[in-house]
Amino acid sequence: MTDLVLQVHNLCKSFGALKASNDVSLDLRPGEIHALIGPNGAGKSTLIKQISGGLQPDTGRIEVLGQDVTALDTVARARMGLGRTFQISSLAMEFSVLQNAVLGALGARRARGGRLGLFRNVMKDADLLATAQEALSRVGLEQAAQQRTADLSHGQRRQLEVAVALTLKPRLFLMDEPMAGLGASGSKDLTTFLDNLRQEAPILLVEHDMDAVFALADRISVLVYGSVIATGTADEIRNNPEVRRAYLGEEELT
Ligand SMILES: Nc1ncnc2c1ncn2[C@@H]1O[C@H](COP(=O)(O)OP(=O)(O)OP(=O)(O)O)[C@@H](O)[C@H]1O
């Protein structure tokens, strides 16, 4: 019996001659933010896709809450509590904020094998509305519920993506660059939000914003050319000579 929320064992994935994941192992503990960093093309998104079920590894094993999910598809993994936000927005821009959250709640119901309805009926479904509204208030968007999603600021869209993921009541989160495109104040707000969210569901966080990573992460894994070259606390990673050589510029560490 393990209390690890996620375990990745010896994952390998090649595209032709390119080893995008080269014997990757890592885990996620309850209540933690584990950041995955590395240069462009290091294989971070490829790893996240394999964990979420969108891409099948060549070899290796993935366990969620102690259960082997390697052969399961995305929907089955979502049903087990694996929530995800994407690098590219999955929101319907012409829909209202509330409609997007309700669509999320509908997807969560589908993942649990529940019944689907026509969209116009769905907007009158008390359970779905309650789930959607609760998720919106968790991220501070309840006042914006009737706004058109296209009219939201970039930061608010990121909050809405997290709200949509929350409708699934996830046991763990995979987040691919949630800070991308946010200004300084947007990333500060999201940093505070993620800091609180980890208690509810631990987060495997892919992020280029090093200020956010070093502020938030309990542990950091560094991926270079598909391999994890180090895992440790922020201080351990800052002081790791191989990481300094391979990835982090000296100026980032002072
Ligand atoms: N479907 C694919 N077919 C072929 N090569 C791919 C495919 N997906 C990714 N790659 C390659 O695998 C390597 C890892 O890509 P990946 O997108 O996982 O890196 P990343 O660390 O997420 O990069 P970034 O920080 O730029 O998002 C890259 O060299 C990329 O070109």
Cβ(224) – ligand 1 distance below 6 Å = no
Name the token pair of 24.
């990757």
CA distance 234 to 252: 12
Instruction: Report ipTM for this prediction.
Output: 0.96
Q: Taking the CB of residue 55, how many other CB atoms lie within 10 A of it?
A: 16
| Low-confidence residues in the chain, pLDDT < 70 | 1, 86-89, 114-120, 248-254
Phi/psi for 107 (5° steps) reads -60, -40
Q: Whose CA is nearest to atom 26 of ligand 1?
A: 40
pLDDT score of 178:
85
pLDDT score of 251:
46
pLDDT score of 254:
45
13, 19, 21, 45, best to mutate for ligand 1 pocket (most atoms within 8 Å of CB): 45
How many whole angstroms from 69 Cα to the centroid of ligand 1? Answer: 23
Domains in the chain with CATH codes: 1-81+170-254 (3.40.50.300), 93-168 (no CATH)
Cβ(45) – ligand 1 distance below 6 Å = yes
Phi/psi for 209 (5° steps) reads -75, 100
Name the token pair of 170.
């996830």
Q: Whose CA is nearest to atom 7 of ligand 1?
A: 15
Give the neighbor-by-neighbor strand order of the sheet with 18-28.
Answer: 18-28, 6-15, 59-64, 67-68
pLDDT score of 120:
65
Name the token pair of 118.
């026509």
Asked if 159 contacts 193 with a C-beta cutoff of 8 angstroms, the reply is yes
Give the neighbor-by-neighbor strand order of the sheet with 219-224.
Answer: 82-85, 172-176, 203-206, 33-37, 219-224, 227-232
CA distance 32 to 156: 24
Which amino acid, residue 140? Answer: G
Q: DSSP state, 58?
A: S
The ligand 1 atom at the shortest distance from the C-alpha of residue 42 is 21
